Amino acid sequence: MLGPYTAAIKDHKTKTDWLSANEENVRRYNEDPKCGFLYESKKSFYREFLKGLNRLHKPKFMRKIRQDMSILLIAGEGDPVGNKSKGPMKLAKLYKRLGIKDVETIIYPNMRHEVLNETDNKRVYADVLAFLKEEHAKAEAMIK
């Protein structure tokens, strides 16, 4: 199931290089016995997981998203899960077509799937914090 993500990384050294451009991060992941567990004997897990993902994108469920909500999408430019940033950009357009006005997308160059664990993760945390502070300020202004 994860093989295509590995194949998308040119000159990958491990099967999990798609997770991060940070080799130390990948090494720690691979050495951690609590990481990388696959539900090989639990086909029902993957069936339900994929069924849930499919349901999320059905129009009748997408229309239930509040239009007054602010959304921040963050992704690594090299993340094969997001089709190298095409997925998050497509999702942002979909949200806007649904009438959600405040959709912000940040694509981080030289990062893959785990943007919060990449070498330049402080930048990601700063962007998320700035977004949350802005949302907090909006909420406080509405209360007043």
Tens-digit pLDDT profile for residues 22-38: 999 999 999 999 888 76
Question: Among candidates 107, 109, 73, which has minimal Cα distance to 91?
Answer: 73
pLDDT mean across residues, the chain: 92
Higher-confidence residue of 57 and 106: namely: 106
Which whole number is the average pLDDT over 54-78? 92
From residue 90, how far is each of 31, 71, 93 by CA, in Å? Answer: 34, 14, 5
d(CA 12, CA 2): 14
Report the length, in residues, of the chain: 144
CB 100 within 8 Å of CB 91: no
CB 25 within 8 Å of CB 115: no
Say what the pTM is.
0.88
User: 3-143 is classed in which CATH architecture?
Assistant: 3-Layer(aba) Sandwich (3.40)
CB 6 within 8 Å of CB 15: yes
